[in-house]
Structure 1
């Protein structure tokens, strides 16, 4: 079954990192097709307004549009040639460009949804959290607005091919597993780790939880164990149906010393995983997975984080 990913590119090194990651993953993804997509620079509204009443300005506007389109094709062809040099079949590469309309992030998302892509791939901009608050970034805006299509955020050069999926028994985690099983369908060589960090009692409540009630703690943990055991049984079948054998799926569980997010990051570092997959939201009874996905994304470097809604 064909998989289609949309690579949002510009002239930055971050876009090149995203392209390199997409090339690298092709050896483990059957029937992968790429679309290199570039949104052209914004044209000022003032110039557009002036062009309505001035033939001279209208001519200048058309020249600018033509130049933007030409530059876009030059950029797209450069990336295509790079991918060809890296061994990607030309029939698997498509080039697309469009003038900016709703805004850079929204234009990318709208194009991806309209043409039913399986993932959007973007290089992380590398802004600090404070810079993102005041300036914004393509990455942060894609994270905010891409609520349907999975988003692959690539930070730096990713060298490891190992894949970790953080699971918590939630519907969002199941969709993450579903996405991973689809992407790696029928590949006998990929190995996938399902990682579950057992939450502490206070992970289920926004208040600080200080209690000596061992029965309450035990009841929560017992319920959590039952939930995750059932979840793992279902997702193992999901992978098997996708042609990924049980031997290719490793389950790791731990009770974290600190937070869920720190437990995931510790496992990622220890296992040298290049791809980390997280659901955007957790179970209805717990708030922690939604905050965990943001935490993992903000703390991860030289890896790709897949965010699945």
Structure 2
């Protein structure tokens, strides 16, 4: 694990954002993690308030002002509630900061700008009915996934168990980066990790059906296993260097799977993994492919889990 962590949690007051806060309380080591609870306040634009000069809008100014006051109160209430969740779970009060900012460029852009301030990861809820009108965190999460490349983004859906982490591993540099990210950020002494590699049938890999006999297919699979095993062992060594006990690490090779993403998500669901870690993209030493396509599919299918995109 890293000596000190700095995590950005994008808040919108939805139930999903509170579930994401609870996930943070379990996945990161509380004794050395600083969490910034960040909210973009979509206050009434000044240009709209200027309409008070017009007689037709003059009678509505008091209502609009009252609405803005209530919004500020709502923000303060749910931010205090989120902070209390973290403190009650063991985070020191000095390591949980509330930051509310008036919208400047746009919600996603403002979160992205804040995330560049030396954060180790950004956590955001997958979707939810926001307590702030006109804030749909689901669309914000989608925008951030397309723009976030300087730090990991963790998209939390449902109420995932933070204790079990599945790492999608294809042997690429990007996959090893995902291993290092999970090992350095997650509570290594408590979490259980699985390194999961997926081998697709040769006919799908080559894009030609009914061309290869079973013997050739078996040789293809055995060749892949022989090549990936030592790299998976190296990945396990990386996790142990971050303090993960050897008995908290498992290695899984799924064979003859038509979809890598579907196989990993099914494995995670069947074995009760709450988190899936994938590389943003990478070129495998086993086969060339962009892991970005896999990570996109995982995010789409793992809607009740936390998906780390590294």
Q: Could you say which residue in structure 2 is the equivalent of 1:144?
A: 146
| CA distance in structure 2 between the partners assigned to 1:76 and 1:231 by the alignment | 43
- Confirm or deny that 1:246 pairs with 2:262: no
Normalized against structure 1, the TM-score is what? 0.80
Any residues of structure 2 matched to 1:1-309 within 5 Å, and which?
1-26=3-28, 31-41=32-42, 43-44=44-45, 46-47=47-48, 72-113=75-116, 115-125=117-127, 137-159=139-161, 161-184=163-186, 187-202=188-203, 204=205, 207=207, 209-212=209-212, 217=217, 220-221=220-221, 224-283=224-283, 285-287=287-289, 289-308=291-310
User: Tell me, what secondary structure is at the counterpart of 1:34?
Assistant: strand
User: Residues 86-116 of structure 1: CA distance to partner in whole angstroms, max 9, x if unpaired?
Assistant: 4432122011121222221121121111x21
Counterpart contact for 1:158–1:274, Cα < 8 Å: yes
Deviation track 1:23-82 (CA, whole Å, cap 9, x = no partner) reads 2224x565122110001116547448889xxxxx9xxx9999888666544442232234
Corresponding position of 2:132: none
Give the secondary structure class of the aligned counterpart of 1:265.
helix
Question: Matched residue pairs, number?
Answer: 294
| Shift in alpha-carbon separation, 1:275–1:245, aligned structure 2, 3 A | same
CA contact (8 A) 1:204 1:287 kept: no
**1:29 and 1:183 in contact (8 A); partners too:** no
Structure 1 pair 183/198, CA: closer, same or farther in 2 (3 Å)? same
**Hey, what's the Cα distance between the residues in 2 that align with 1:289 and 1:236?**
20
CA displacement 1:119-141 (0-9 Å, x = unmatched): 111111169xxxxxxx9711211
What is the distance in 1 between the residues matched to 2:150 and 2:122?
A: 10
Deviation of 1:143 after TM superposition, in Å, equals: 1.0
Q: Which whole-Å CA distance do the structure 2 matches of 1:264 and 1:177 have between them? A: 15
Question: Are 1:203 and 1:287, in contact at CA under 8 Å, matched by a contact in 2?
Answer: no
SS across alignment from 1:212: coil
Local SS of the residue matching 2:16: helix
Which residue matches 2:134?
none
How far apart are residue 244 of structure 1 and its match?
A: 1.9
- The 1-side partners of 2:183 and 2:234 are apart by 12
Cα distance in 1 for partners of 2:239, 2:290 equals 26
Is the CA contact 1:17–1:156 (under 8 Å) kept in the aligned structure 2? yes
Mean CA deviation greater in 93-102 or 279-288: 279-288
Distance 1:281-1:29 versus aligned 2 partners, 3 A rule = farther
Greater shift in the superposed pair: 282-291 or 227-236: 282-291
- Per the normalisation by structure 2, the TM-score is 0.80
For 1:48 and 1:228, how far apart are their aligned partners in 2? 62
Indicate if the aligned counterparts of 2:276 and 2:307 stay in contact, CA closer than 8 A. yes
1:259-305 alpha-carbon deviations (Å, 9 max, x no partner): 21221122112211111111122425433632221112111133211
